[in-house]
Structure 1
């Protein structure tokens, strides 16, 4: 009986941690979408959407190592960050979209609309042949040191002028805020 009780507590703890991280992911996604969609117009009938959102969480790769090497806080937490580098992940933003846009944030939803696969984005952008559409790609958040998170945001276009950067978030009084922008790049 005592073992069952411990197993139940362990299950509840793991469930709560998973739910908490999903809420944190949603909060981070809202900040990033609000930041980048701030100047976009709401999508209404026959209006072209210029900024699309990629459905999948981009995997974290060795590029994170360069970011770690250039920042003291990240160097101190490099072991925890490196454990989360995994190019094989296959996750999407569906749960976070559902939490974010169900009965709330409708103005932001009118700007974001839906997410795209790479193939869908290429079809839409080739149909309009204006080369002004961008696809916003957000990596899987890397949580470390209890109140910190690192997220890469990149923008892809069918033509040149791709760009991106890493955002270092800090959770202060239960609210995620952007602390720094790291390793900005343009092509």
Structure 2
């Protein structure tokens, strides 16, 4: 009986940690979406959406190592960050979308609309023949030191003029804020 109790207890703890991480990631996603969609118009019937959100979490790759080497805070937490570099992840933002947009933040939801796959984005771009559409791709958040998070955000277009950066978040008074923008790039 004690073994069953321990297993159930560990399952509950694991579930709470996982759900807590999703809540934290939803809060971080809200900051990113609010910043990115600040100048976008609300999507209504027959209005073309110019900024779309990519459904999948982009995996963190070796490019993160370059970012780590340019920041003292990141260097001091390099071991934790390096453990989170995994190009094989296959996760999406659906849980965070559910947390973020169920019965709240409806104005932001009207700007973001639905997330798209790369194929859906390319189909819409080809349909309208416009070169002003972008796909925002957000990496899986990399949490470290109990109050920091590193997230890569990139903007993809079917033509040139792609761009991106890393946002360093800090949790202050239970609110995630962007404290630094690292490795900004554009083509």
> Secondary structure of 1:90's partner?
coil
> Secondary structure of 2:60's partner?
coil
Shift of 1:13: 1.6
1:120 is matched with which residue?
120
Once the two structures are overlaid, the 10-residue window that deviates more, 50-59 or 99-108, is 99-108
1:148 is matched with which residue?
148
Report the TM-score when normalising by structure 2.
Answer: 0.97
1:19 and 2:19 correspond: yes
Shift of 1:149: 0.5
1:108 is matched with which residue?
108
After superposition, residues 1-187 of structure 1 pair within 5 angstroms as: 1-187=1-187
Deviations 1:127-156 (A, max 9, x none): 111200000000000011111110000000
Task: Say what the alpha-carbon RMSD is for the aligned residues.
Answer: 0.9
What is the aligned length? Answer: 187
User: Unmatched 5+ residue regions in structure 2?
Assistant: none
What CA distance in whole angstroms lies between the structure 2 residues aligned with 1:43 and 1:71? Answer: 39
User: Unmatched 5+ residue regions in structure 1?
Assistant: none
Report the TM-score when normalising by structure 1.
Answer: 0.97
What CA distance in whole angstroms lies between the structure 1 residues aligned with 2:8 and 2:130? Answer: 57
What CA distance in whole angstroms lies between the structure 1 residues aligned with 2:46 and 2:6? Answer: 57
> Secondary structure of 2:167's partner?
strand
